[in-house]
């Protein structure tokens, strides 16, 4: 995958066949009776300095991928190589030592900040945990971070409840930056914010990326915002990647039927376009990840479903340079192994639209 998606750039994060299953225990004896397959075989790379957008609807597993990538969840199977180290199987102490390179910005800035700590303590906590800085050095670093995210230094002794949603998200970002990470998972960082505040936070994330050379996994259900911030976009459906494409190609011409339906469902703030757009209205709801359909997980709602979709699971295959689609309309079922484009030949059939 690496040579074809961004020639010459080195992948910082390499995910191979990642699975995260949550056990279901039922009955009086809490027997293990099944698994919620939240993430079921996901592979992708994130290049150094790149922003990979990860989109999909609630329950598709996008947040679980984000959390598994920095080992907030233990993967059931697969590997997550960050900067040369496979963190999926790392022991606790080695993991602790590598944590500073990977950080996370959470969705709900209220719930992810300790209400009993002052701002300087919240932002300084990673420094206390991972560095040998003394109190003066820590405060100096906290002030630097506050400058970087646009928080007034005078606020250092205030509590998080004294801030608005947008400012709280800045606190969360400052904390994530404290240890000079290389990779940040942004899990719906703007979903809880008002429209007029969202742009402030997204611009800040972009500025910081340019300033510190950060690599982002940007998880969101806001497809317009992902188009703005991401270089490449992965569309997830029910624990699997349906399509992984460069941003412009995806938005101009989504290939996977789910990606097409998803993009056509997003309302646009333009009445003239809204009146003339053709919408693909999907029937029904997303099936339960505890009991996904056989074959392609999208086969129960797909408007272009064919026989093979009910029996065989489609494999994520490169169908155009840089564009990977898991759909039988595009790949022959024998082509390649999951997500590794090096071993699959580009297959152009069905790329008519």
Contacts to other proteins from residues 199-228, by CB under 8 A: 199-200, 202-203, 206, 221, 223-225, 227-228
Structure tokens at 242: 């349906």
- DSSP letter for each residue of 288-333: PTTSPPSSSTTTTT-TT--GGGGTS----EEEETTEEE--TTTS-T
For strand 31-47 and strand 11-26, is the pairing parallel, antiparallel, or unpaired? antiparallel
Residue 194 as a binder of other proteins (CB under 8 A): the answer is yes
Give the number of residues in contact with other proteins, rule: CB under 8 A: 42
Least distance from other proteins to the Cβ atom of residue 264, Å: 8
Q: Side-chain half-sphere of 263: how many Cα atoms within 13 Å?
A: 20
**303 contacts other proteins (rule: CB under 8 A):** no
Instruction: Please say whether the beta carbons of 265 and 252 come within 8 A.
Output: no
152 binds other proteins (CB under 8 A): no
By the rule CB under 8 A, 251 interacts with other proteins = yes
- 263 belongs to the binding site for other proteins (CB under 8 A): yes
Segment interacting with other proteins (CB under 8 A) among 6-14, 36-44, 195-203, 317-325:
195-203
158 contributes a contact to other proteins by CB under 8 A:
no
55 and 38 Cβ atoms separated by less than 8 Å:
no
CA distances from 341 to 100, 189, 278, 346 (A): 31, 31, 33, 8
Name the H helices within 221-286. 223-229, 247-252, 257-265, 271-276
Contact set for other proteins, span 21-40 (CB under 8 A):
none
Q: Which of 269, 278, 334, 352 binds other proteins (CB under 8 A)?
A: 269
Among 166, 289, 292, 339, binds other proteins (CB under 8 A): 166
* Residues in contact with other proteins by the rule CB under 8 A: 57-58, 164, 166, 194-200, 202-203, 206, 221, 223-225, 227-228, 248, 251, 261-275, 279, 281-282, 285-286
């Amino acid at each position: 995958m690496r040579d074809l998606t961004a020639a010459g750039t080195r992948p910082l994060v390499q995910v191979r066949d990642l699975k995260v299953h949550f056990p279901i225990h039922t009955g009086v004896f809490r027997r293990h009776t099944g698994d919620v397959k939240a993430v079921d075989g996901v592979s992708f790379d994130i290049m150094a300095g790149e922003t990979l957008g990860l989109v999909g609807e609630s329950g598709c597993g996008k947040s679980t991928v984000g959390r598994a990538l920095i080992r907030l969840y233990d993967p059931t199977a697969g590997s997550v190589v960050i900067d040369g180290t496979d963190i999926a199987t790392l022991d606790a102490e080695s993991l602790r030592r590598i944590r500073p390179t990977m950080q996370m910005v959470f969705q709900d800035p209220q719930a992810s900040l300790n209400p009993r700590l002052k701002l300087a303590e919240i932002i300084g906590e990673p420094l206390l945990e991972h560095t040998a800085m003394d109190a003066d050095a820590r405060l100096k670093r906290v002030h630097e971070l506050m400058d970087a995210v646009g928080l007034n230094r005078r606020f250092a002794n205030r509590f998080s409840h004294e801030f608005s949603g947008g400012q709280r998200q800045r606190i969360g970002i400052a904390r994530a930056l404290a240890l000079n990470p290389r990779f940040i998972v942004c899990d719906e960082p703007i979903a809880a914010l008002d429209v007029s505040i969202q742009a402030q936070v997204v611009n800040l994330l972009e500025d910081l990326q340019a300033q510190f050379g950060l690599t982002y996994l940007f998880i969101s259900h806001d497809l317009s915002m992902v188009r703005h911030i991401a270089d490449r976009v992965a569309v997830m459906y029910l624990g699997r990647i349906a399509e992984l494409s460069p941003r412009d190609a995806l938005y101009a011409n989504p290939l996977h039927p789910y990606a097409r339906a998803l993009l056509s469902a997003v309302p646009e703030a333009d009445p003239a376009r809204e009146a003339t757009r053709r919408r693909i209205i999907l029937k029904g709801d997303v099936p339960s990840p505890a009991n996904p359909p056989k074959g392609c997980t999208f086969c129960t709602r797909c408007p272009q479903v064919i026989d093979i979709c009910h029996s065989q699971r489609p494999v994520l295959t490169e169908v155009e340079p840089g564009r990977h689609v898991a759909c039988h309309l595009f790949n022959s079922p024998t082509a390649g192994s999951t997500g590794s484009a090096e071993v699959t030949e580009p297959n152009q059939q069905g790329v008519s639209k």
